[in-house]
Amino acid sequence: MNNVSTPLTMKVPRFKGGGFIEFEEISVPKPGPGQLLIQVKANALCGSERGQFINGAVVIPGHEAAGVVVAAGKHTRVPIGTPGVIYLMDFCGTCRACSQGFTNQCRNKRGDMGFNKDGGYAPYELINENIFFPIDKNIPFPEATMLLDIIGTGGHAIDRGRILHPDIQSVFVMGAGPIGLGVLAMAKIIIGKEIPVFVSDFEDYRLEIVEKLGGIPLNLKKKSLHEFFMENDVKAVDLSIDTSGKKAARQSGLKVLDQQGALICVGHGEELHIDVSIDLIHPERAILGSEYFPYRDLERNLDILNRHFEYFSAIITHRFEAEKIKEAFDLFLKGQTGKVVIVQ
Ligand SMILES: [Zn+2]
Ligand SMILES: [Zn+2]
């Protein structure tokens, strides 16, 4: 227990509902056996926190955190001072899914950081050691958070599509929010730079980032999807990925799929209507869900972040101090941002 000196108390943001956030002074937790105390240096905002901002939260939110180990309980191995990121799902490591490496499908999860366990908007976060992933000392913490929902979730959605389709030549992403940008970036890196990746949205700001990242922006306020595809001489795509959670988006993603194409649903939300014979059987298409990503992907993804650092850094458009968390959320939820990160 060779601990760095940490303060006894810390100021944490409490999400009260209605967009109100109040700061409260509480004790800094102490790590028990198998646990680490992380000093949080950066935590990225996520669209999935909208509910907590609007309706309030019992725990401290924040599930895209990067920081440094400052205290360690008994039976831990990670040295004090190690920088790293925190995986959202506190997986058991021994169930049927975990033993196959599918920690994002753990059957015996101990919790989700920032949703039912205190998360990364606090100055210090207490975690079980298995969800900490060490990173290189030279990676700045805001960019390190890109390993989670952006590179991790985005990459897993692409991996899901590749299970079904070994020859992807075109991709259509519905929604240019942070997850959509992550999917676009990982499509370019995993499948190939030359593959056209179309990204639809209604926000000019986000579509400008799409263009910067090498995607083809489709502003559905200006033209229909059909018109855009005609213009680009595209008849159908091999992979559609919905990050919007909207029924209309999913339907159009399914409709533009080529034979043997796959629709991957990443964004939670509305339903999808399927005409089984026409949509699935006859063209042998597939529809898959994709939830977060397996912990083991972090190793490959760290290498990707190191090789494409500037590319991922461009997805972060705003950085806020911890005291300005309310302003950060107000701006982020208006849709005029890329990824927004709280730094401490
Ligand atoms: Zn998230
Ligand atoms: Zn498990």
pLDDT in tens, 24-50: 999 999 999 999 999 999 999 999 999
Q: How far apart are CA 128 and CA 331, in angstroms?
A: 32
**Confidence check: pLDDT of 4 > 90:** no
The reported pLDDT for the residue numbered 334 is 94
Residue 18 three-state SS:
coil
Q: Separation of 233 CA from ligand 1 center, angstroms?
A: 35
CB count in 10 Å sphere of residue 258: 18
Q: Kindly report the pTM of this predicted structure.
A: 0.96
Q: 77-110: per-residue pLDDT in tens?
A: 999 999 999 999 999 999 999 999 999 999 999 9
Q: Separation of 90 CA from ligand 2 center, angstroms?
A: 9
Residues 6+ apart with CB under 8 A from 314: 209, 212, 213, 338
Ligand number nearest to the C-alpha of 106: 2
In this prediction, residues 136-154 reach a mean pLDDT of: 98
Q: Which residues pair with 9 in a beta bridge?
A: 27
Q: How far apart are CA 328 and CA 322, in angstroms?
A: 9
From residue 197, give the alpha-carbon distance in Å to each of 91, 130, 177, 181, 290. Answer: 33, 35, 15, 11, 19
- Asked if residues 109 and 87 have their Cβ atoms less than 8 Å apart, the reply is no
Q: Separation of 77 CA from ligand 1 center, angstroms?
A: 27
Q: Separation of 275 CA from ligand 2 center, angstroms?
A: 35
Q: Separation of 275 CA from ligand 1 center, angstroms?
A: 32
Q: Separation of 105 CA from ligand 2 center, angstroms?
A: 7
Q: Separation of 87 CA from ligand 2 center, angstroms?
A: 14
Q: Separation of 91 CA from ligand 2 center, angstroms?
A: 5
From residue 320, give the alpha-carbon distance in Å to each of 20, 317, 343. Answer: 17, 10, 6
At 2, the pLDDT band (50, 70, 90 cuts) reads low
Mean pLDDT of the chain: 96
At 318, the pLDDT band (50, 70, 90 cuts) reads very high
- Asked if residues 178 and 152 have their Cβ atoms less than 8 Å apart, the reply is no
Q: Separation of 48 CA from ligand 1 center, angstroms?
A: 6
Q: Separation of 32 CA from ligand 1 center, angstroms?
A: 27
Q: Separation of 130 CA from ligand 2 center, angstroms?
A: 11
Q: Separation of 233 CA from ligand 2 center, angstroms?
A: 46
**Confidence check: pLDDT of 120 > 80:** yes
> What's the distance, CA 240 to chain centroid?
18
**Confidence check: pLDDT of 5 > 90:** no
